[in-house]
Structure 1
Amino acid sequence: MGARESIEVRAAAGDRAAFTALMSSTKADLYRFVRRYVGDGAEAHDVLQEAYASAWLAIRRYDPTRPFDVWLRSIALNKCRDWSRRRAVRRVVRGVMGLDTAEATAVGDDAPAPEARLDDQRKVARLQRALSDLPDTLKAPLLLATLEGWSHAEIASMLRITPKAVETRIARGRKQLAERLGRTPDDDA
């Protein structure tokens, strides 16, 4: 290996230090994406760790001529989808077993109610719930384009769909999100 060889090439060859450096350089952005997708910080950390573990296990299949962050984001997106499927199964099981009733979910806690929360925090939580409830096919392109700043072509490559399909899914995602928030898609707020 030459001294000028890229960090991606070294990582693809199984160099742990190079992979660790790539992890460090991508962690903040990837966590932000995963956190927005799953809607929970602790769950996002778990999904992120799964994504990095899967990336390391598949590192020999990575093509260093392609952007590492696109390859890694594809893996993270798949882990987010896996998480969503597991969550849906848990919801069904909880419903069947009656675990969603008020009695089953009540927690004996004498802490004061969260009346002190700021209005902005409520809006963010409501938006996060609305985002989490979007179908995966609409959520991923919407988050990648709107919040992460990826181009339609990059998203199309990641999701293995056409740029036109990305555009359509983003429009549908925005519309559904606006409906869930009780707004029209053209509202600024």
Structure 2
Amino acid sequence: MDRTRFSELIRCHHLTLLSYARAVAGQESTARELVQDAFVAAWQNIGRFDVTRDFATWMRGILRNKWREHCRLHSREVPFDEAALSALEATLASHPQGDAAVFARLAECREKLPEPMSQALRVCYDEGRTSDDAAGLLGLNPAALRKRLERAREALRLCLSKND
């Protein structure tokens, strides 16, 4: 694949990948860094891309790996679990044009959450705190926080599936 074609694909998928990164990272600066790192990795490994596969799916896979790497490097203890990432991936895959409406629906679903779940998501994902720090801030033990986050992610998954 030549540089021009790669640039076209990047322009086409940039906003969707940025939305995906925002959903998993919570912080705008982290999301932008992850997307940029994913684009660099994609260009460096473009020879491995199977042109019979979907480019957006390939890029989300790279971005997902960059997110995992970020979590390891920054000792983030409450990343999205594999099931949540897979559910988000499946939702994105069902919208091949990178429909930003998915993320608008996610925001709507998030507004419907009970305040304790909303606070847990905000503190962990929007503010990027570790589970110990977030648990202390919310007056919970880390296990209770993890359970609250699990329930919040499940509620979001159910809400998004009802809107499909």
Residues 1-189 of structure 1 mapped to structure 2, 5 A cutoff: 11=1, 15-88=2-75, 133-146=78-91, 148=92, 150=94, 177=149, 179-180=151-152
Instruction: Give 1:38's aligned amino acid.
Output: A
How far residue 87 of structure 1 moved from its aligned partner, in angstroms, is 2.2
TM-score in terms of structure 2 length? 0.56
Distance, in Å, in 2 between the alignment partners of 1:75 and 1:67 is 13
Q: Percent identity?
A: 29
Distance, in Å, in 2 between the alignment partners of 1:186 and 1:57 is 38
TM-score in terms of structure 1 length? 0.49
The structure, 1 or 2, with the larger RCO (C-alpha pairs under 8 Å, 6+ apart) is 2
Distance, in Å, in 2 between the alignment partners of 1:149 and 1:60 is 23
1:49-79: CA deviation from partner (whole Å, max 9, x where unpaired): 0000000000011110111111111111111
Two-structure CA RMSD over aligned residues (Å): 3.2
Instruction: Give 1:26's aligned amino acid.
Output: H
Give the secondary-structure state (helix, strand or coil) at the position aligned to 2:52. coil
Change (3 A) 1:67 1:149: closer
Q: 1:161 is matched with which residue?
A: none
How far residue 134 of structure 1 moved from its aligned partner, in angstroms, is 5.0
Instruction: Give 1:62's aligned amino acid.
Output: F
How far residue 145 of structure 1 moved from its aligned partner, in angstroms, is 3.0
Change (3 A) 1:74 1:149: closer
8 A Cα contact 2:71 2:79, kept in partner: no
Distance, in Å, in 2 between the alignment partners of 1:47 and 1:69 is 15
Distance, in Å, in 1 between the alignment partners of 2:47 and 2:26 is 31
Distance, in Å, in 1 between the alignment partners of 2:81 and 2:46 is 26
- Aligned pair count reads 109
Change (3 A) 1:77 1:150: farther
Q: 2:136 is matched with which residue?
A: none
Structure 2 residues not aligned, in runs of 5+: 96-146
> Could you list the runs of 4 or more consecutive aligned residues of structure 1 that deviate by over 4 angstroms after TM superposition?
175-178, 185-188
How far residue 136 of structure 1 moved from its aligned partner, in angstroms, is 2.8
* Structure with the higher fraction of residues in helix conformation: 2
Larger Rg, first or second structure (1 or 2): 1
